[in-house]
Structure 1
Amino acid sequence: MSEDDKNPAREVIAEYAQERFRYFRTADGTVYAQKNGHPVARPIRSQGTTGSHRQELMVGLFKDGIGVFNGTALKEALDLIEALALTENTQTVHIRVAPGFDGATWLDLGRSDGQSVRIHPTGWDIRVPDPREVCWRRTQLTGELPLPEKNTDGKGIDLLFRLCNFVNAETECLAMAWLVGCLEPSVPVPAPFLTGPQGAGKSTAGRMLIRIIEGMSSDLRRAPKDEDNLIAAVAAGWVTALDNLSHMTPDLSDAMCCIVTGAESVKRALFTDGDVFRARYRRPLLLTGIDVGVIRPDLAERLLPLRLERPKVRRTEAELWAEYAQVLPIVLGSLLDLTVQIRAAAAETPTDLRMADFAHLCAQLDAAMGLGALSAYRAGLDDLNDDVIEGDLLAQTVLQYAADMQPGEQQRMTSAEWLHLLTRLYSGEDCRPLPKGWPTTGKVLSDRLKRLQPTLAARGLNVDWGRTREARYIELTEPTGTPEPQQEAAF
């Protein structure tokens, strides 16, 4: 063959790649490669340790006897493929959980053969998804799950809670609701906060809960020191679990709120002058700790308190995890059965709770199983409101003043007048010093009250803002009727 008849190496590689892989781009412009008939997709520019598309091509070219090519030829071929893929239609890639066709949901088992669980309105089954329906993206945090067992008759849930130390059945049903919520990609779920005395097995219970979804290789992590590292960890997995929290900074609290309900991070793309990198994320979050100190009101509405107690009989770690690994297929099968059953249950959506999707899921769980998940969820939120009030002297002072108001009474003043009144009420006759963080201006007071508004409303005190022709005002209103006491649950 003459030199003129030889194809350049880059053309040989590009032709080979396009015959064996499907190339597409996501909405943010990242180009992915997906082996024909296989649901896992890899970004073609990835150099990660989980295997890059460049490595796939090198191995395939060598094993198929086509040859070994230098880096320049591979780079030129990938540049061409990337340019061609940018003209194709976009498709979304998913980590662990994905929506499918006809109301179905997919769960990635993390297996090399691509087998996944399809949860549909009439049941669930195990199959390899059509690449046009689901594209999985995997990272180092994507662990392998065992094949779930069929026809478990719900015994897997009992086996799971036998290994945990939750204080009562109400707490267990909230944990069940959270696990079911983790299998729904479009529903934000509150973050379970596993708390209890020292030695209650909070970290162990947290590991058991997340490993049902993320596999035996997943583990708890320390809270990152900055938001960028936290977002990177969140974006690389599905469930993020932070262990042994003892203090929560305002920045960490705000970041957790964004993780639970969803947000987007925009950063400058590396090695560019004006391009940006977008990262959207909304993930299930799990926390453990004895006490995190003051909880901010916006985070309190996104938490799910799960209390544990110290076990009466201790077991070795080896014995405990050996039993857990043995029952995990049964637990996963029971969770899938429960998910199908709950999704088929009809229930009204509570309209007074911030996390309305999760409240509706709790109502469905009650309708399907006859449990008190919704009342337990309300009781947990009420308990968290108490924690917010106990940690905020301004909230305590406002409620102290409102205690002397008559039902239906309204008090309207400017923010500066409210600041003077509340400061004098807190200081008292002995003029005790004001605490650190006490509002120093009317604007600061107004902003603090806006943050506390849902917490105060839960205690029957309405706070509103308005203005007259002369000035803006803040209005406190004591409702005419006493709010009905909520059903209590032990936490």
Structure 2
Amino acid sequence: MSAKDKDGKGPSQASLLVELARSRYELVMSEDGRPYGVQIGGPAVVMPLRGKAGLRSRLSLEFTDANAGQVPSQSALADAMTVLEGLAGKVDPVPVHLRVAGGPGRIVLDLGTADGRCVLVTPDGWTVEARSPVLFRRSGTMAPMPEPVRGKDGLAELRGLLNMDDSGFHRLVAWLVAAWIPHIPHPVLTFKGEQGTGKSKAAQTVINLVDPSPATKRSQPRDVKAWATQAFNSWALCLDNVSAIQPWLSDTLCKAVTGDGIIDRALYTDDDVVVLSFRRVLAMTTIDAGALAGDLAERMFLLDLQLISEEQRRTEEELDATFGEARPAIIGSLLDLLVKVLKVLPTVKLERKPRMADFARVLAAVDQIQGWTTLKDYTSTSENTYADALEGDPFGSAVAEFADQQASWSGTAGRLLELLPPPDGFHPKWPKDATRVSGQLKRLAPILRSVGISYDDSKRSNDRKRTRLITLTRDPGISASAPSAASATRFEQGELADADPNPSVRTASGQRPQPPRADAADAHADAENTAASATRTPADQRRNPSADATDTADAVLQAISGQRPPCTTCGHPLDPVLTTIGATKHPTC
């Protein structure tokens, strides 16, 4: 093949490039609409048409080698790529995978090597194959995986690299096995612990087993688009040192667990789009991620790490060297366990199916093989996570405490909002209207259910408006989490009682007091106790809020029952709360 002079005779450079590509590469289109080239007779690894590691660069080099060092022009390369994209679009789309592929009967693990080797895993065993039976794509965030070896106790070597108890280690092993089963959702592995527990190193070890990368630990993405780019190019990734999870990131992580897709406008086009679709294996390290949204809490796989003493602490260099030597054996042992899981998984039946039911079946299979209790430990830890998430949501905590008091309650969202005023009159996470109450309750429903409170909004009232009714029912067999001090105070003051013998009687802040006591003597004593309680510290009030709350309510009611004194400035009656503290005029006067 030779290029002609620029006299118009002979094929152009673009034509020669297209001819060269068609003779050496198969053009395919992925299911998400991306054109790729696959070397004929070479590894089953696709190359994008453009980019540094794409077909464009490869063709440019091959053209130069075949034409005595002549370099193709940029315009010829651009014209050739346009033609090749058209050729790729003529064939039916094919699946293109990242790192791992397959289903219940066969799993293919891409080792990420230049020669395209892979590991084929079936219920009968695993083997290293020279060429993958499915197409894989590579990205700049991927690193090669060492070839696994048999015959060594890799799990014992892995145990020596991690500072966690046996229960946590067993759950981690089960999570690692499930991470290579691509057709199921995987909960977010969360390493939690104080400083000095080795969270980041543990996460780095885990990611380098599942999906090695030169960037195993990532910072929190700044927006959805940045996150989608990271997730599209890695099968497993870890967010390191998470201190708070923004609502958009919480929703994004939930979707990445079960499967997500991002559609964006293609670069330099007006109407063409690109699709980033993925379901990923995620990990996270945190000291305290703050209040978790209920749907994310359901998808967490929490592992607490133990503090490393100075005598037991090892250097990074020592850990890396030990892990490098042990990694082939660790991967081999995990593959041995994966083979057994694939064999028994079709026979595993769960009596109760939690939210992550497919993952729970894998845990049950591992327990059946190893004699562990990973499923039981996972569900127990999840219940604690739900309780933490409920405590971190002020409205959810108030609803739980309200349900504890009422046992069973039915009413409108607006009525519930009246009965649950925000602490101190305002809270940024408190729903502002009835519509937001319904929406927030739906998000909280799984967590409320985990503490024995069922939520139902399927009924409607019998009046002409046919208003939707909310029903909260407490399961007496399940205890809810302990109420917060602020909410406990509101309950003891009677704010949340649905049965209101005198709904017109309220304090200035809109709170509903308890029924009055028998005589004025009690009121006088209560007023004195209320005045005395003003000298108590906030910590004292949090430790024992009920007595003062009741005393204050009684004093307020006594003030209401009598004639309210006038303000010394404007002459209008003083509010009951002001009279209980001895005020003689309104604060605004």
Query: Do both share a fold (TM > 0.5)?
Result: yes
Change (3 A) 1:350 1:107: farther
Q: Would you say 1:245 and 2:248 are equivalent positions?
A: no
Once the two structures are TM-superposed, the CA of residue 64 in structure 1 deviates from its matched residue by: 4.2
Q: Would you say 1:141 and 2:133 are equivalent positions?
A: no
Which shifted more, 256-265 or 70-79? 70-79
Q: Do 1:419 and 1:445's aligned partners in 2 also have CA atoms closer than 8 Å?
A: yes
Change (3 A) 1:321 1:218: same
Once residues 32 and 320 of structure 2 are traced to their aligned partners in structure 1, the CA distance between those partners, rounded to angstroms, is 41
Q: Would you say 1:272 and 2:265 are equivalent positions?
A: no
Tell me the amino acid that sits aligned with residue 10 of structure 1: A
What is the SS of the residue equivalent to 1:403? helix
What is the SS of the residue equivalent to 1:19? helix
Once the two structures are TM-superposed, the CA of residue 399 in structure 1 deviates from its matched residue by: 2.1
Q: Would you say 1:40 and 2:45 are equivalent positions?
A: yes
1:468 match:
461
Once residues 145 and 15 of structure 1 are traced to their aligned partners in structure 2, the CA distance between those partners, rounded to angstroms, is 35
1:316 match:
315
Tell me the amino acid that sits aligned with residue 293 of structure 2: R
Once the two structures are TM-superposed, the CA of residue 395 in structure 1 deviates from its matched residue by: 2.0
Q: How does 1:20-419 map to 2 (within 5 A)?
A: 20-37=24-41, 38-44=43-49, 46-48=50-52, 51-64=53-66, 68=70, 69-99=72-102, 103-130=105-132, 133-152=133-152, 155-166=153-164, 168-215=165-212, 217-312=214-309, 313-345=312-344, 346-349=347-350, 351-406=352-407, 410-419=408-417
Query: Could you state the TM-score of these two structures normalised by the residue count of structure 2?
Result: 0.76
Once residues 75 and 176 of structure 1 are traced to their aligned partners in structure 2, the CA distance between those partners, rounded to angstroms, is 49
Q: Do 1:463 and 1:474's aligned partners in 2 also have CA atoms closer than 8 Å?
A: yes
Percent identical residues: 32
**1:420 equivalent among 418, 421, 432:** 418
Larger-gyration structure (1/2): 2
Once the two structures are TM-superposed, the CA of residue 75 in structure 1 deviates from its matched residue by: 2.5
Once the two structures are TM-superposed, the CA of residue 483 in structure 1 deviates from its matched residue by: 4.6
Which shifted more, 174-183 or 59-68? 59-68
Once residues 414 and 224 of structure 1 are traced to their aligned partners in structure 2, the CA distance between those partners, rounded to angstroms, is 40
**2:474 equivalent among 451, 471, 478:** 478
Once residues 63 and 300 of structure 1 are traced to their aligned partners in structure 2, the CA distance between those partners, rounded to angstroms, is 57
Once the two structures are TM-superposed, the CA of residue 349 in structure 1 deviates from its matched residue by: 3.5
Change (3 A) 1:247 1:350: farther
Once the two structures are TM-superposed, the CA of residue 351 in structure 1 deviates from its matched residue by: 4.4
Q: Do 1:194 and 1:308's aligned partners in 2 also have CA atoms closer than 8 Å?
A: yes
Q: Do 1:20 and 1:35's aligned partners in 2 also have CA atoms closer than 8 Å?
A: yes
Once residues 305 and 403 of structure 1 are traced to their aligned partners in structure 2, the CA distance between those partners, rounded to angstroms, is 28
Once the two structures are TM-superposed, the CA of residue 277 in structure 1 deviates from its matched residue by: 1.5
Q: Do 1:206 and 1:286's aligned partners in 2 also have CA atoms closer than 8 Å?
A: yes
Change (3 A) 1:20 1:389: same
Once residues 82 and 247 of structure 2 are traced to their aligned partners in structure 1, the CA distance between those partners, rounded to angstroms, is 44
Tell me the amino acid that sits aligned with residue 333 of structure 2: S
1:488 match:
none
5+ residue gaps, structure 2 = 481-589
Q: Do 2:394 and 2:429's aligned partners in 1 also have CA atoms closer than 8 Å?
A: no
Once residues 419 and 244 of structure 1 are traced to their aligned partners in structure 2, the CA distance between those partners, rounded to angstroms, is 37
Once residues 440 and 89 of structure 1 are traced to their aligned partners in structure 2, the CA distance between those partners, rounded to angstroms, is 51
How many residue pairs get aligned? The number is 466
Query: Could you state the TM-score of these two structures normalised by the residue count of structure 1?
Result: 0.90
Query: Which string of whole-angstrom CA distances, capped at 9 and with x for unpartnered residues, describes residues 185-243 of structure 1?
Result: 11110001100111000000000000012226342011111111111111111111000
Once residues 377 and 190 of structure 1 are traced to their aligned partners in structure 2, the CA distance between those partners, rounded to angstroms, is 11
Query: Which string of whole-angstrom CA distances, capped at 9 and with x for unpartnered residues, describes residues 342-388 of structure 1?
Result: 11123114543111111111111111111101001101110101111
Q: Do 1:416 and 1:441's aligned partners in 2 also have CA atoms closer than 8 Å?
A: yes
5+ residue gaps, structure 1 = 486-491
Change (3 A) 1:469 1:112: same
Once the two structures are TM-superposed, the CA of residue 19 in structure 1 deviates from its matched residue by: 1.4
Q: Would you say 1:459 and 2:461 are equivalent positions?
A: no
Once the two structures are TM-superposed, the CA of residue 5 in structure 1 deviates from its matched residue by: 7.5
Change (3 A) 1:236 1:21: same
